Amino acid sequence: MSGGRPAGGLVTTAPREATPDGGPVLAVEGLRVHFTGESGVARAVDGVDVTVGRRETVCLVGESGCGKTVSALAVLGLVPGPPEGLAAGRIRFGGRNLLELDDRAMETVRGRRIGMVFQEPLTSLNPVFTIGEQIAEPLRVHLRLPEPEVHRRCIQLLADVGLDSPADRLADYPHRLSGGQRQRVMIAMALACEPELIIADEPTTALDVTVQAQILALMRRLQQSRGMSMLYITHDLRVVAQIADRVYVMYAGLIAECGSLAQIFKAPRHPYTRALLAALPGRGKRGRRLYSIPGTVPDPAHRPAGCPFHPRCPQAEPPCRTQLPGLCAFEPGHVARCPVAAERGPEDWCA
Amino acid sequence: MSDDLLRLEGVSKRYPVQRGALRRTTGWVRAVDDLSLAIPGGSTLGLVGESGCGKTTLARMILKLLPCDSGRILFKGVDLVPLSAAGMRPLRREIQIVFQDPYGSLNPRMTVGQALSEGLRTCGVRDREEVCGRVAELLAMVGLSPEAAERFPHEFSGGQRQRVGIARALTVGPSLVVCDEPVSALDVSIQAQILNLLKDLQERLGLTYLFISHDLNVVGYLCDRVAVMYRGQIVESAPADELFDRPLHPYTHVLLASAPDLENARRPDAAPPEPPSKTAEAEGPCRFQPMCARADEGCRSFDGELVQVGAGHFVRCRRAGST
C-alpha cells in the first residue's frame, strides 16, 4: 500500500488507489505450494499463474484436490510455513509481494483489502456471537470506526446483501438464519472494509439451486456496483457459466487452460477441459453415454511425469509422458497447456 | 391394475414442532402431504426438490424405515403400510436404496467382501464358494476388481465407494432401487461414471429407479418422468421432455431458471425470493403462493389439486396454462 488510508477514516470517501501500472489487481506468478507429510512432499500447487483485472470476475475451476483452494489460501497468507508447508513464487497485490509480508503486514491486507467468503457459513461464523458483533469486528479492528458509525454501517451492510429488517437481525445468532441468509451475512462481513478484491471459495456449494441463484446474482450485483474484483473458486462449471468473465481450469496443481468465458465453453482446447464439459449431464445428452474420464485424479505426492493429465488423455503422444508441456496460445487471452491440441486442432473423441 | 411397480396413494407424514423445556407440541410440519405418484416397472422417475421438501422422508417411508401417517404404498399391488416387520421381510429384497454418502452407510470395520456377503446370506446363499463367486460377480458388475473384496471402505475413493454402495444394494436382487442423491457429492468426471453405471445396470437387470435429486441437469439426463416436489407436495409431474419444454408450475420455472443448461447459460438476474419459514404459511392451500410472481387473489382460495393438463402432465396450479 503506497499511501495508506488514515486510520478511522471513512473508506467510502477515501480515493481508490490505482495499482502502480494500472495493471491487474492481483497477479499470481509461478505460485508453488508444497506440503510435507508422511507420504512425502505433496505438490498441491505446482507453478500457477493467475491474474485478476480490475472489476473482473475470474473463476478458478477444477475437481477436488487440484489445488484451487490452496492457491486461494496462499493469496490470503494462510498456508502454514515450514516445516509443514511452503509457498513460493510471487503474489503481487497493491504493489507488493504478499508472500514477503510478515504476519502483521498481512493483517492490514487480509479482511481489509481482500475480503473472503468461504463455503460453510455455519462453520465460518462464530456460534456464540451475534451477527452484529461479527460484522462489527472488522469495522472496529481494521477501520477503528466510532461505535455509532459501526452500528450504522452494520445495518447498511445487511441491507446491501438483501436481508430484510436488518436492524433486527443484528441481535440474531447464526443458528437462527437459513443457509442462504448466513451466506449473505458472510458476504456482508467480507464487504465491511470495502475491499478491492473478494476471494470466494465455493460460496454456494452447500446451498439449494434457487438460493444459489440468488447468492450468485447478489455477488455479481455487488461486484459491479462496488467496482470490486473477484476471484471465485468452484468445482461447478455451471456456476462458472453464470458468474465468470474469465476462467482458469486447474488440474493437478497446474493451470490447464485459461480464457474468456466464451473461449472456454464454446471452444475449449485442452483435453481435460473438453472432457469435463463432455462429462456434464444434461437433458440434451439423454439416451447417450456421458463421456467419462478414465482413471482418477493423481495423488499430489505422486504426480506422473510429463503432462499430469497424460495417463487419462485420449490424445496423449509419447512426448507428453516425459515433458511437461508449456502453455500454447490459441487466441488472444486463450492459452492451454497442450501442444498436441495446438498442432492437431480439435478432435471429436468426446462427442 | 396397471403395470406400475410402485404406487403411492395419498401418503402423508407430519412431524411435530416442539418448543420449550417440556417439549410441548406447538405445531406440525407436513413433511409429505397427501402425495400420490406411480413408477412403471423398468423406468426411472426423477423426484426433484430442494432440501427440506420431503424427498428423503418419502424415500424412507417407501423403504418402511419410517411409518407413514396415512395413505397407501403399493408395491406390485401389495400395500406396504400395514405390513409387520416379518411381513415386510420378503419384500425388503425387492426394494433397496443407494445413499448419497456411501461412507456413512458402510460398516468401516467390515471389508467390502464381508459387507456384500452379508446381504447374500440373508437371501439364503450359504455356500462359501458360491458367496465368493457372487461377490466377485457383483464387483465386476459395478466395475470394481475382485481384489476390492479384501479392502475396507476407507481405502476407496468417493466414486469407488459409491460403486460399493450400488453393489450392496444389488446383492439381494432388487427390482426397485431408491437412489437418494447418489451423485451429489461427486466430482463431475466421477459423477459421469456413476450415471453411466446406473444406466447400464438398468438395461442389464431391468431395474426401476426412484431417483431423488436436487440437480435438474442430472434428472433431465437420466429420468423418463420427472416429479417436482415443493413442501411435501408434488406440484408438477410430466415426462422429462415435456417438463423441460413446457413447464407450467411457477416453481418449476424458478427451478429451471436457477439451474440453466450450459447451452443457454444465462446470468441469473431475477432470482426468486427466499421462502418464509416452514410452518408459517403451512395452512395456505397453495404452498407456493406467498412466493409466486403470478399469484392473484383467487390463489388464496385455490383448493390445490393436481390437475391433468396434457398426456401424462399434471400440475398443481390454478393459473397453469394462463399467462
Q: Supply the pLDDT for residue A283.
A: 87
SS3 B245: helix
Residue pair A281/A254 in contact by the 8 Å Cβ criterion: no
Q: Supply the pLDDT for residue B3.
A: 81
As a whole number, mean pLDDT of residues A167-189 equals 91
Q: Supply the pLDDT for residue A206.
A: 78
Q: Residues 6 or more apart from A209 whose CB is under 8 A from it?
A: B50, B214, B215, B216, B255, B258, B259
Is B202 part of the contact surface with chain A (CB cutoff 8 Å)?
Answer: no
AA letter at A349: W
B-chain residues near A313 (CB < 8 A): none
pLDDT in tens, B195-246: 999 999 999 999 999 999 988 999 999 999 999 999 899 999 999 999 999 9
CA distance A177 to A193: 23
Name which residue leads in pLDDT, B284 or A255.
A255
SS3 B254: helix
As a whole number, mean pLDDT of residues B1-19 equals 87
Q: Supply the pLDDT for residue A207.
A: 85
How far does the CA of residue A55 sit from the closest CA of chain B (Å)?
A: 17
pLDDT in tens, A35-59: 988 878 899 999 999 999 999 999 9
pLDDT confidence of B2, banded at 50, 70, 90?
Answer: low
Is A225 part of the contact surface with chain B (CB cutoff 8 Å)?
Answer: no
CATH of domain A26-244: 3.40.50.300
CA distance A144 to A11: 11
Write down all domains in chain B, each with its CATH number in brackets.
4-12+37-315 (3.40.50.300)
Q: Supply the pLDDT for residue A119.
A: 82
As a whole number, mean pLDDT of residues A272-293 equals 91
Residue entry with cell 490470503: A76
As a whole number, mean pLDDT of residues B128-151 equals 93
Whole-number average pLDDT of chain B = 87
Q: Work out the number of other CB atoms within 10 angstroms of the CB of residue A310.
A: 20
As a whole number, mean pLDDT of residues B47-72 equals 92
Cα B149 to Cα A267, B119, B131, B138, B165, distances in angstroms: 43, 14, 12, 10, 13
Q: Supply the pLDDT for residue B272.
A: 54
As a whole number, mean pLDDT of residues A230-245 equals 93
How far does the CA of residue A177 sit from the closest CA of chain B (Å)?
A: 10
Residue in chain B closest to A234 (alpha carbons) equals: B187
How is residue A154 written as a grid cell?
452494520
Q: Residues 6 or more apart from A165 whose CB is under 8 A from it?
A: none
Residue A2 has φ and ψ, to the nearest 5°, of: -75, -55
Residue A208: is its pLDDT beyond 90?
Answer: no
Q: Which of B192, B215, B274 sits opposite A279 (nearest CB)?
A: B192
As a whole number, mean pLDDT of residues A21-29 equals 86
pLDDT confidence of A230, banded at 50, 70, 90?
Answer: very high
Q: Supply the pLDDT for residue B249.
A: 92
How far does the CA of residue B231 sit from the closest CA of chain A (Å)?
A: 14
Q: Supply the pLDDT for residue B265.
A: 53
Q: Residues 6 or more apart from B211 whose CB is under 8 A from it?
A: B44, B45, B46, B47, B179, B182, B219, B222, B223
* Every domain of chain A and the residues it spans: 26-244, 254-344
Q: Residues 6 or more apart from A157 whose CB is under 8 A from it?
A: A135, A166, A188, A189, A191, A192
pLDDT in tens, B248-274: 998 998 888 887 667 655 555 555 555
Name which residue leads in pLDDT, A299 or B74.
B74
pLDDT in tens, A54-95: 999 999 999 988 999 999 999 999 988 877 888 999 999 999
Contact A211 B263 (CB under 8 A): no
Q: Supply the pLDDT for residue B11.
A: 95
Question: Which helix (H) or strand (E) covers residue B313, if one does?
Answer: strand B313-315
Q: What whole-number percentage of chain B has pLDDT above 90? A: 59
CA distance B103 to A232: 29
Contact A292 B189 (CB under 8 A): yes
Residue B323: is its pLDDT beyond 60?
Answer: no
Q: Supply the pLDDT for residue A55.
A: 94
Pick the closest to residue B191 from A347, A69, A214, A285 (CA basis).
A285
Q: Supply the pLDDT for residue A328.
A: 94
B-chain residues near A241 (CB < 8 A): 260, 262, 265
Q: What whole-number percentage of chain A has pLDDT above 70? A: 93
Q: Which of B157, B263, B265 sits opposite A242 (nearest CB)?
A: B265
Q: Supply the pLDDT for residue A114.
A: 96
pLDDT in tens, B149-206: 999 999 988 889 999 999 999 999 999 999 999 998 888 888 999 999 999 999 999 9
pLDDT in tens, B295-319: 777 777 776 788 899 889 999 988 7
pLDDT in tens, A115-162: 999 887 677 889 999 999 999 999 998 999 999 999 999 999 999 999
As a whole number, mean pLDDT of residues B11-23 equals 88
pLDDT confidence of A273, banded at 50, 70, 90?
Answer: very high
Question: Which helix (H) or strand (E) covers residue B177, if one does?
Answer: strand B176-180
Contact A282 B220 (CB under 8 A): yes
